Amino acid sequence: MKYEAITIKDIAKALGLSTSTVSRALRDSYEISSETKDRVLAYAKEMNYRPNPIALSLKEKRSSSIGVLVSEIANSFFSQAINGIESVAQEKGYNVIIAQSKEDFDREVSALHYLASRSVDGILISVSAGTSDFSTINDLYLRGMPLVSFDRVVDHLNMHKVKVDNYKGGYDATHHLIKNGYKKIACIASSAYLSISEERVAGYKDALIEKKMGVDENLIDYCLHSGLIYEEVEDIMNKLMMQKNKPDAILACSDKITTNIMRYCQDKKIKIPAKIGLLGFSNLDLTDLLTPSLSVVKQPAAEMGRIAAELLIKMIESKRPTTTFEEVILPTELFQRASSAKKAKP
Amino acid sequence: MKYEAITIKDIAKALGLSTSTVSRALRDSYEISSETKDRVLAYAKEMNYRPNPIALSLKEKRSSSIGVLVSEIANSFFSQAINGIESVAQEKGYNVIIAQSKEDFDREVSALHYLASRSVDGILISVSAGTSDFSTINDLYLRGMPLVSFDRVVDHLNMHKVKVDNYKGGYDATHHLIKNGYKKIACIASSAYLSISEERVAGYKDALIEKKMGVDENLIDYCLHSGLIYEEVEDIMNKLMMQKNKPDAILACSDKITTNIMRYCQDKKIKIPAKIGLLGFSNLDLTDLLTPSLSVVKQPAAEMGRIAAELLIKMIESKRPTTTFEEVILPTELFQRASSAKKAKP
DNA sequence: TGAATTTACGCAAACGATACCGGGAATTAA
DNA sequence: TTAATTCCCGGTATCGTTTGCGTAAATTCA
């Protein structure tokens, strides 16, 4: 069943004019008499005429829509980011088309191809945790597709980047744990492919080194799927808790990892923070209401989305190809709560 | 800056063929010799040819995209629903274009017009809490736009509906509270305009009446913005806690209302469930980890999204106009946890 | 009055792809 | 040898819109 709507041709036929006259009348061209304009406008309004955006897209070679590729929509960070993106897009007259990679490289590539085949004017991308090959993205860049990466940016590619200060986020979080008396701090990061993992871990390491605490590689681990699967976190936690140098605190570097650790500790009846301190990167709204209330590093998700969307639309609407790329770095925010409370002196 | 891509014309010119021949070769028509097909296919592959979806849309009068209108993307229920929608759409070759109304009627109308002007083949809609006038939706229906409403459905309009058994959800929740010894159960619902509010409240009332507990209208209140704004919930809670017939339990009928009540009780140091029991509709992942763990009525959000998307795509792809409309009703699930624990005998 | 402008509109091409129609060349049948 | 097929392929209209160009009619100017 089709949704049939009135076209410029219908108006032309009804009023005995040519399509060009109608088109110009609707665009208020100076070469159309005011009487004709009035007739056309009145009829168009009466028939509720709306220009066909697809025909316009074909003509103008632009679709007025932007693609957003994230790993998982049902993730508080990304849904907040999309919220920001949508608000900017709506304001500037762009559609937002969303796609999710589910942290899978193949799905990411096919989603990119799908979006890229000229159905969007630009793409906002946060790469999947499973992605180590960026040739598809680079191909798009080389072919002139406006791209902006956010959160999980790709360091060595030429494009605008919007991210948080992951190094400082990791550093501050670790520093806070140290200050609160934790001695053996483990770090569970997302996929090692991601620069955000690298940076957060670097901040973690430097905080330890600065306090002369030494870095134990056995206390550092990575989740290929960013903790999306519980078992992934479970395995790492089992390994960590079995080893001789057992941690007394954990820095979790993504939302799902953080909450899955909480779930693990609840299952295994490991008391937080008595047995183990916990501090995680998270954008969930309710972390303050959790048991125990969760210390988190929060990212300004909606703002990242807004800034990324603005950069992208600026690129799309620019006459000349963009040659210099910005890297916008926003601050993270540390919320100190019960899950990383000061450790009782032994 | 534009993203230039190869067209069928370029291939035709390069190989000394006509566009029609190239088109047929690409579609594997029988009237093209296998040599020509091979040449075309090889060249197309080499040049990474992809058909222009916009040109196709114009020709076929379909855009292969569906619009989704929700009140707020950064809401666990809707992001889970969108997740389900996206997975079905992706599978069937449709783009998903999202728009949010922010619970505002005007934004809803303009978003609908935006989506409707032939840039989508159909629309999935969950109406905003501020909507009492459904003429825009009805206009779209009359003009043949395929529409499916989900969650917040519109009762008196002709369209497929996918929802949960709100009545039973409200009834079961209230029954559970009664069974656990609560005597004065308040109910805070979303906008009174929404049928989900009406149905949940009806279930609540019937459960009370069945136990001969009587319905006190002073214990029932509505949030025009579905609890999106904290102050809205704060005002209602203040009113409830001030009045002489103070409730000893609350049934909260939406995600944001539930969590904002928890926040309120934490602020005001009102102990849950000692001072007041709490049970809410919610789709958050972490309700089991909250303090206290939160009793909830959960909706199968992703499944609702999937079913709604399937119904919509079936409608879009149907040759004849849809005349009979389905109403799919899914069960809710009640999770009994600490926030509504059995009341100690006084 | 005749020429030069201006006014107000129509024609047709273009965007990329598809499909109907038609036709030349090669093959087969008579 | 000629007519009838079959095989391949090209021309062109079409989708809805914009826009450069052309051109009658109306107006202005000399």
Which among B1, B4, B73 is the nearest to A82, CB-wise?
B73
Higher pLDDT, A68 or B228: A68
Tell me what pLDDT residue A4 has: 66
Q: Looking at this protein, which amino acid is placed at residue A132?
A: S
> Is the domain covering A63-163+301-332 a CATH 3.40.50.2300 domain?
yes
Higher pLDDT, B225 or B67: B67
Phi, psi of A242 (to 5 degrees): -85, -30
Q: Which nucleotide is nearest to A24 (CA to C1')?
A: D18
**Which among B68, B117, B281 has a CA at the least distance from the CA of A49?**
B117
Phi, psi of B179 (to 5 degrees): -60, -35
Residue B67, both tokens: 């619009």
CATH architecture, domain defined by A166-298+334-340: 3-Layer(aba) Sandwich (3.40)
B270 min Cα distance to partner chain A (Å): 14
Which among B63, B116, B266 is the nearest to A289, CB-wise?
B266
Tell me what pLDDT residue B208 has: 97
Higher pLDDT, A291 or B57: B57
User: Helix, strand, or coil here: A44?
Assistant: helix
User: Helix, strand, or coil here: A2?
Assistant: coil
DSSP B29-87: -TTS-HHHHHHHHHHHHHTT----HHHHHHHHT--SEEEEEES-SSSHHHHHHHHHHHH
Neighbours of B161 (CB within 10 A): 22
Which among B51, B52, B286 is the nearest to A284, CB-wise?
B286
Q: Strand D: which nucleotides have any atom within 7 A of a protein Cβ?
A: 7-12, 14-20
Closest residue to C15 by CA to C1' distance?
A59
Residue A339, both tokens: 């899950």
Question: Which residues 6+ apart lie within 8 Å of A142 measured at CB?
Answer: none
Tell me what pLDDT residue B2 has: 47
- Cβ separation of A73 and B52 shorter than 8 Å? no
Contact at 8 Å (CB) between A245 and A186?
no
Tell me what pLDDT residue B4 has: 65
- B contact residues 284-343, partner A, Cβ 8 Å cutoff: 284-286, 288-293, 302, 315-316, 318-322
Contact at 8 Å (CB) between B71 and B102?
yes
Tell me what pLDDT residue B156 has: 87
Tell me what pLDDT residue B345 has: 66
B18 CB below 7 A from strand D atoms = yes
| Contact residues, chain A, for B263 at CB < 8 Å | 289
B87 CB below 7 A from strand C atoms = no
pLDDT tier, B129 (very low <50, low <70, confident <90, very high otherwise):
confident
pLDDT tier, B118 (very low <50, low <70, confident <90, very high otherwise):
confident
Q: Do domains A63-163+301-332 and A166-298+334-340 have the same CATH topology?
A: yes
A341 min Cα distance to partner chain B (Å): 17
Low-confidence ranges of chain A (pLDDT < 70): 1-4, 345-346
Which among A83, A99, A121 is the nearest to B74, CB-wise?
A83
**Dihedral angle at the C-alpha atoms of B246, B247, B250, B252, nearest 10 degrees?**
-40
Place of tokens 């904290």: B230
| Contact residues, chain B, for A4 at CB < 8 Å | 143-144
- Cβ separation of A82 and B74 shorter than 8 Å? yes
A13 CB below 7 A from strand D atoms = no
- B contact residues 147-186, partner A, Cβ 8 Å cutoff: none
DSSP A125-186: E---TT----HHHHHHHHTT--EEEESS--TTSSSEEEEE-HHHHHHHHHHHHHHTT--SEE
Compute the half-sphere exposure of residue B106: CA atoms within 13 Å on the CB side of its CA: 0
> Could you say which residues 8-67 of protein chain A have a Cβ atom less than 7 A away from any atom in strand C?
16-21, 31-33, 35-36, 55, 58-59, 61
Instruction: Give the residue from chain A lying closest to B263, CA to CA.
Output: A289
Q: Is it the case that residue B1 has pLDDT exceeding 90?
A: no
User: Helix, strand, or coil here: A299?
Assistant: coil
CATH architecture, domain defined by B63-164+301-331: 3-Layer(aba) Sandwich (3.40)
- The length of chain A, given as a count of residues: 346
Tell me what pLDDT residue B171 has: 98
Rounded to whole angstroms, the Cα distance separating A132 from A15 reads 60
| Contact residues, chain A, for B302 at CB < 8 Å | 74
Eight-state DSSP code of residue B140: H
| Contact residues, chain A, for B96 at CB < 8 Å | 97-99
Size of interface A-B (CB pairs under 8 A): 173
Rounded CA–C1' distance between A59 and C14, in angstroms: 8
Which among B54, B62, B79 is the nearest to A118, CB-wise?
B54
| Contact residues, chain A, for B259 at CB < 8 Å | 285-286, 289
Say whether residue A116 is in contact with chain B using an 8 A CB cutoff. Answer: yes
CATH class of B166-299+334-340: alpha beta
- Per-residue pLDDT, averaged over B273-296, amounts to 93
pLDDT tier, B303 (very low <50, low <70, confident <90, very high otherwise):
very high
A206 min Cα distance to partner chain B (Å): 32
* pLDDT > 70 fraction of chain B, expressed in percent and rounded: 98
- Per-residue pLDDT, averaged over B248-256, amounts to 96
Q: Is it the case that residue B143 has pLDDT exceeding 90?
A: no
* Mean pLDDT over each residue of chain B, to the nearest integer: 93
| Domain map (residue ranges) of chain A | 8-51, 63-163+301-332, 166-298+334-340
- Per-residue pLDDT, averaged over B86-96, amounts to 95
- Cβ separation of A57 and B54 shorter than 8 Å? yes
Tell me what pLDDT residue B131 has: 79
- Per-residue pLDDT, averaged over B108-137, amounts to 90
